[in-house]
Amino acid sequence: MSLIKKTMQIGFSKRQACPMFLANLFQKEQLDGIKVEIQKEIIDNQYAVDVQLGTGGRRVDFNSFDVEEYTVPEYNNYGTITEEDMFKVQFGETEYEAKAAKISNLINKHQTIISGWQRYSEEKQAADGLFNGKIVLANGKEIKFNKKASHSISASAWDVAANDPLEPLESGCQIAFDDGKIGVSTFNLILESKGIAALLSNEKFRKNSNKEQGISRTDINMPIELTPGAMFHGQFSVGSYKLNVWSYNAKYKIPVGYNFAGEGTEVGFIKSGTGLLVPEKPNFKRYYGAVNDANAPSELGGAKLNLQKVEQLPYAYDKLNGGSAVTLAGVKSRPILVPVDIDCFVTFSGLVSA
């Protein structure tokens, strides 16, 4: 049993399927429970008013913190390994070695696939929170982040020669800079393939963007390990701002059987003709709520009611049914990706013509 458990854990820890480019904009934090409370406060950049000597100070009214509480949704998926799956024994293996290797491989296969699906859910949460300002759960409940309408910009198509991409980009930078009260002037512009092609081929962009030559991938403030699946295209200036340009074309498949619109089809995390403009190192949080450990020993009462602080918790256990047995192998996780500084970024739509 210890060999099976060790092999299973090693196999699971080596795999992560989803490219997590958007999710990596969110800083990780593990929770003790299943709820997270976010305090938001925007400090106005007004100046202080002087006072006359001996007249005392001026009282200032401070707005209270805007507190939002979110219950972290749980993902719990498993597959079933049956007695039939255990029949084949590899040549040269002893019976115990064969069983240990077979069951470990089957468990890892189930858990790897499920782990990847749940990582895709994290990336989709990031995309939905940024582009839609909310996360919609399977039961229709919405977790809203109160994104302002002015931070969703409908632009004129960049693949039309008469349209100038620099105007909406500079406007987007200014909106994020002013509303988000941020102290940086460098942004990351993230597009999909059609958007990046429209931008780079636009003649007005090519002539007027002050596109800088010789910018190395390692010269910008996004570590390589945080940008899987994305391609860096360079840096250009617009007004008082600098933009690092990325393309990101990863897609997810909409599950079948849950009455979701478009089930069975593949959709880009960044949909065709849309884009994201986000400052370097935004205050975004990727929270992982605690999950119950079904792997705990069952000898003691309450042992299986044991919350663990983990990103993902793989589990496997046997279930008896009339003298037959199956193994349930799955993964549990409880992530929520919160764009805490909801005013520090903007999204674009309509960047390419229909």
Using alpha carbons, select from 308, 169, 189, 290 the residue that is nearest to residue 239.
169
The predicted-structure confidence for 131-182, as pLDDT tens digits, reads as follows 999 999 998 989 999 999 999 999 999 999 999 999 999 999 999 999 999 9
- More confident of the two residues 27 and 96: 27
Percentage of the chain lying above the pLDDT 70 cut: 75
The confidence band for 296, taking pLDDT boundaries of 50, 70 and 90, is low
Q: Does the pLDDT of residue 260 top 80, yes or no? A: yes
In the prediction, which pLDDT does 62 show? 53
In the prediction, which pLDDT does 290 show? 92
Task: For the chain, give the secondary structure using H, E and C.
Answer: CHHHHHHHHHHHHCCCCCCCCCHHHCEEEECCCCEEEEEECCCCCCCCCCCCCCCCCCCCCCCCCEEEEEECCCEEEEEEECHHHHCCCCCCCCHHHHHHHHHHHHHHHHHHHHHHHHHHHHHHHHHHHHHHCEEECCCCCEEECCCCHHHEEECCCCCCCCCCCHHHHHHHHHHHHHHHCCCCCEEEEEECHHHHHHHHHCHHHHHHCCCECCCCHHHCCCCHHHCCCEEEEEEEEECCEEEEEEEECCEEECCCCCCCCCCCCEEECCCCCCEEEEECCCCCEEEECCEECCCCCCCCCCCCCCEECCCEEEEEEEEEECCEEEEEEEEEECEEEECCCCCCCEEEECCCCC
In the prediction, which pLDDT does 133 show? 95
The predicted-structure confidence for 68-86, as pLDDT tens digits, reads as follows 788 899 999 999 888 777 6
In the prediction, which pLDDT does 126 show? 97
**Average pLDDT value for the chain:** 82
Among 27-41, 131-145, 178-192, 251-265, whose mean pLDDT is lowest?
A: 27-41
The predicted-structure confidence for 297-353, as pLDDT tens digits, reads as follows 555 555 556 788 999 999 888 888 888 888 889 999 999 999 999 999 999 999 999
- More confident of the two residues 50 and 35: 35
The confidence band for 3, taking pLDDT boundaries of 50, 70 and 90, is very low
Q: Does the pLDDT of residue 249 top 50, yes or no? A: yes
Q: Does the pLDDT of residue 294 top 60, yes or no? A: yes
- Dihedral angle over CA of 132, 137, 141, 146, nearest 10: -30
Domain residue limits, the chain: 2-42+65-138+287-338, 148-283+340-349
The predicted-structure confidence for 5-21, as pLDDT tens digits, reads as follows 554 555 555 554 688 99
In the prediction, which pLDDT does 217 show? 47
In the prediction, which pLDDT does 273 show? 96
Tell me the CATH number of domain 148-283+340-349, given options 3.40.50.720, 2.60.120.200, 1.10.3720.10, 3.30.1930.10.
3.30.1930.10
**What integer is the mean pLDDT of 32-59?**
66
In the prediction, which pLDDT does 306 show? 78
The 10 Å Cβ neighbour count of residue 104 is 21
In the prediction, which pLDDT does 1 show? 45
**What integer is the mean pLDDT of 222-230?**
72
What fold characterizes domain 2-42+65-138+287-338?
A: putative capsid protein of prophage fold (3.15.30)
Same fold, 2-42+65-138+287-338 and 148-283+340-349: no
Using alpha carbons, select from 80, 104, 78, 79 the residue that is nearest to residue 90.
104
